[in-house]
Amino acid sequence: MRQDSPASIQSRLPLLAIFILLFAVILFFRLWYLQVLKGSYYQELAESNRIRPIKIRPPRGIIYDRNGKPMVENELTFDISIVPEDASYLEESVRRIAPVVKMDQQDIIELIDAARPIRTKYEPIKIKEEASWAEVAVAEARQDDLPGVIVEPEHRRHYPYGGLASHQFGYIGKVTEDQKRKLAAEPGMLIGQSGLEKTFDKFLRGTAGRRMIQVNAAGRKVKDLGIEEPKPGTDLFLTLDLDVQRAAEEALGTRAGAIVALDPNSGEILALASHPAYDPNLFPRGISPADWDRLSNDPSHPLYNRAIQSVYPPGSTFKIVVALAGLNQGLIDPDEKVNCGGSLKSGRRSFRCWKRGGHGAVDFHRALVESCDVYFYTMGDRIGFDQIAQTARSLGLAKITGIDLADEKPGLIPTPAWKLEKTREPWFQGDSFINSIGQGFVLVSPIQAAQMMSVLANGGVFYKPQILKRTRNRETGEERIYPAQEKHRIKLNQDALDQVRSALIGVTTEAGGTAHGAATPLAVVAGKTGTAQVIAQKVPGRKLTESTEDHAWFVAYAPADKPTIAVAVIVEHGGHGGAAAAPIARKVIEEHLKHAGTKNGQ
């Protein structure tokens, strides 16, 4: 075989070099064409033929009452969504899915257009929430004909009792742009927007999971690749007693007002009701503009939690404060009698007693039992309102209680210095008269009134009102207990306390007592009525209603000898406290006493 000579090989090297150079140039231009001119096209094509992670929202933690009865839960539903990037011909996918979900094509297009500015790429757009089983079955069976269309499981928040305890539970809604930054929440996530849903959102929220699917370049699902299960939120066990809460709500009925029931030995909230209420089921699915406008513009303010956010003149329930202030200082002699002729004059003005003919000569016990205004005008003037204000603040008035709900209002306990600063007017004797019976400037919230009665019942111990009893990790079963939080103690003169307690029992049991409607055969109830005038009064946070009927108060604890429940009831424009509020408190107390000591949470 003849071999090429070195000279021959050498002569062909330039041709080989030219060939290699030409190949390199062609390769370079081809790569340039693919990466620069057609790069975006092929990148889009590659992204369209890949694994798609479909986010699965986690089920929020379930909320139970103290005895393990679910009060807020979740329902498994299915949504039909579309991923526009996976729909080769979006209009065609819309045309085909419209009759399946029984929607107009234009409505679906409008949903997609509205979502585009706020969504991330490949984020599904919901076109039918809570789809029927028939709709889900068709959407799944026709995947080849519905590119870009997917079915998503969803755990919907559900409030099985509607408006019951709605102000405590609050509601959830889609995360806002501000919340995305502050809470590091994912787009589209539903988070707590008010009430306990907001306060304990970190517990309740859980961690999202993912469903992995493979799609082809046409956007059609090829197969399911598996599921990364979401981690459910932490379950909450509240201090609320569902039976007591329901009794409170039913007793209040359609009337506006609030009820707070506490365990005086721990501060645990047994019931907390505010009416009018609202249905939180309106919110998880996205409240309609019409429903939101109706709720937010309702003159009765159903979104307002009257138990902690409304403050009212306490009426004659404030006489408890005056009594303790006078007895503690030795300025009230329990045996001293004051003559009530139906009114008491100060300068040119006459201050009337609620009993037109007067009570006659009454000592301390009879004055508190029968709620004699003239007696407390006299004692309030004698004690001085600075001292009364000091006692009121020691009993928790004019201070927030610290309950784990937002926007609690502190109320107001005036002093002569406060009035001079705010009105540029001095404190008159008439101011001492009127404020000593819980009118004038004094403002108290229902939860403060309940806490005050708890302190009387337990002998001076302040607890933070507690609404969370324990939590439970649903995956591990691990529980965390939240014990009672004692805030501080106050020293109450035992003789003074015994005198007041005896009179509070007389209010419900003795002839002439103003709250026979609170009496129950199950236990002796110690309580005090209050009737607060509302003419020319404005409750902060609310508009004046046309009605000028008095607000009706009743505060109590029971059993009187060994209290396990303290209650405060306010019925707006309800009239007399003994007629309107005391029977409501009785129903709440009776429901509690029927089961006291027999329930797991007690």
> What are the beta bridge partners of residue 157?
74
Beta-carbon contacts of residue 175 (< 8 Å; ≥ 6 apart): 183, 185, 186, 187, 188, 189, 190, 191
Residue 75 lies in a domain: yes
Q: What DSSP element (H or E) covers 277?
A: none
CA torsion 325-326-329-334 (nearest 10°) is -140
Q: What is the mean pLDDT of residues 481-496?
A: 93
Does 231 share its domain with 258? Answer: no
Q: Specify the pLDDT at position 47.
A: 54
pLDDT tens track for 320-349: 999 999 999 999 999 999 999 999 999 889
Residue 33: inside a domain: no
Query: Quick check: is 23 in a domain?
Result: no
Tell me: pLDDT of 289 over 70. Answer: yes
Residues with a catalytic annotation lie at 316
Contacts of 258 (CB under 8 A, 6+ apart): 272, 273, 274, 275, 305, 306, 307, 310, 446, 568, 569, 570
Higher pLDDT, 257 or 138: 257
- Residue 212: both structure tokens together: 């992995």
Out of 220, 238, 256, pick the residue that ends a domain. Answer: 238
Residue 163 forms part of a structural domain: yes
Angle (CA) 95-99-101 rounded to 5° is: 110
Let me know whether 371 and 231 are in one domain.
no
- In one-letter notation, the amino acid at residue 341 is G
CB 126 within 8 A of CB 81: yes
What tens digit of pLDDT does each residue of 23-81 get?
777 877 777 766 766 666 656 555 555 676 777 788 999 999 999 999 999 998 888 88
Q: Is the pLDDT of residue 601 over 90?
A: no
- As a whole number of angstroms, the distance between CA 461 and CA 444 comes to 19
Q: What is the mean pLDDT of residues 190-201?
A: 92
CA distance 58 to 204: 10
570's CB contacts (< 8 A; 6+ apart) are 257, 258, 259, 306, 312, 446, 449, 551, 552, 553, 581
* 45 found inside a domain: no
The amino acid occupying position 359 is H
Question: In this structure, are 263 and 385 located in the same domain?
Answer: yes
In a domain, 31, yes or no: no
Q: Write the DSSP string, 70-97.
A: EEEEEEEEEEEEE-GGG-TTHHHHHHHH
Q: Do 316 and 206 reside in the same domain of the chain?
A: no
- pLDDT score of 217 more than 80: no
Q: According to the model, what pLDDT value does residue 43 have?
A: 63
**What would the mean pLDDT of 446-467 be, rounded to a whole number?**
97
Q: What is the pLDDT at residue 73?
A: 95
When comparing pLDDT for 10 and 73, which is higher? 73
221 pLDDT tier (thresholds 50, 70, 90): low
Residue 99: pLDDT over 70: yes
**Helix 494-509 and helix 446-458: axis angle, to 10°?**
120
More confident residue, 89 or 483: 483
The whole-angstrom separation of Cα 195 and Cα 485 is: 21
- Picking from 236, 64, 67, the residue whose alpha carbon sits closest to that of residue 598 is 67
For residue 127, the model assigns a pLDDT of: 87
Q: Are residues 140 and 254 in the same domain?
A: no
Return the pLDDT at 544: 44
Q: Residue 134 has which token pair?
A: 């028939």
For residues 222 and 326, state if they share a domain.
no
Which CATH number covers residue 151? 3.90.1310.10
**Residue-wise pLDDT tens digits, 578-588:** 999 999 999 99
Residue span of the structural domain in which 204 resides: 51-238
Q: Which residue has the higher pLDDT, 130 or 211?
A: 130
> Which pLDDT score, from 0 to 100, does residue 115 have?
81
Q: Is the peptide bond before 559 cis (omega within 30 degrees of 0)?
A: yes
Instruction: Say yes or no: 337 and 201 in one domain.
Output: no
H or E segment and range at residue 498: helix 494-509
Going from the C-alpha of 146 to that of each of 83, 93, 135, 256, the distances in angstroms are 11, 5, 13, 52
Residues 89 and 76 in one domain: yes
How many CB atoms are located within 10 Å of the residue 107 CB?
13
Mean pLDDT, residues 482-501 = 94
**List of residues 6+ apart from 94 with CB closer than 8 A:** 82, 105, 108, 109, 112
**Is 255 in the same domain as 232?**
no
When comparing pLDDT for 208 and 79, which is higher?
Answer: 79
User: Which is more confidently placed, 177 or 451?
Assistant: 451
Q: Is 282 found in the same domain as 209?
A: no
Among candidate residues 308, 588, 600, the one with its CA nearest the CA of residue 470: 600
CATH classification at residue 584: 3.40.710.10
Looking at the structure, tell me whether residues 234 and 246 fall in a common domain. Answer: no
Q: How far apart are CA 462 and CA 489, in angstroms?
A: 6
Regarding whether 88 and 72 lie in a shared domain, the answer is yes
Other C-beta atoms lying within 10 Å of the C-beta of residue 277: 18
Residue 552 host element (H or E): strand 551-558
The answer to whether residues 238 and 204 touch, using CB atoms and an 8 Å cutoff, is: no
Q: What is the pLDDT of residue 540?
A: 42
Pairwise CA distance, residues 507 & 497, whole Å: 15
* Helix runs in 551-581, H state only: 577-580
Does 19 fall in a domain?
no
Report the C-alpha gap between 82 and 88 in whole angstroms. Answer: 12
pLDDT digits 0-9 by tens, 523-568? 999 999 999 987 544 444 444 444 568 999 999 999 999 999 999 9
Instruction: Establish if 28 belongs to a structural domain.
Output: no
Q: Which residues pair with 520 in a beta bridge?
A: 523
CA–CA dist 448, 456 (Å, integer): 12
End-to-end CA distance of the chain: 108
Structural domain tally of the chain? 2
Tell me which of 201, 223, 238 is where a domain ends. 238
Q: Give the C-alpha separation, 189 to 226, whole Å.
A: 22
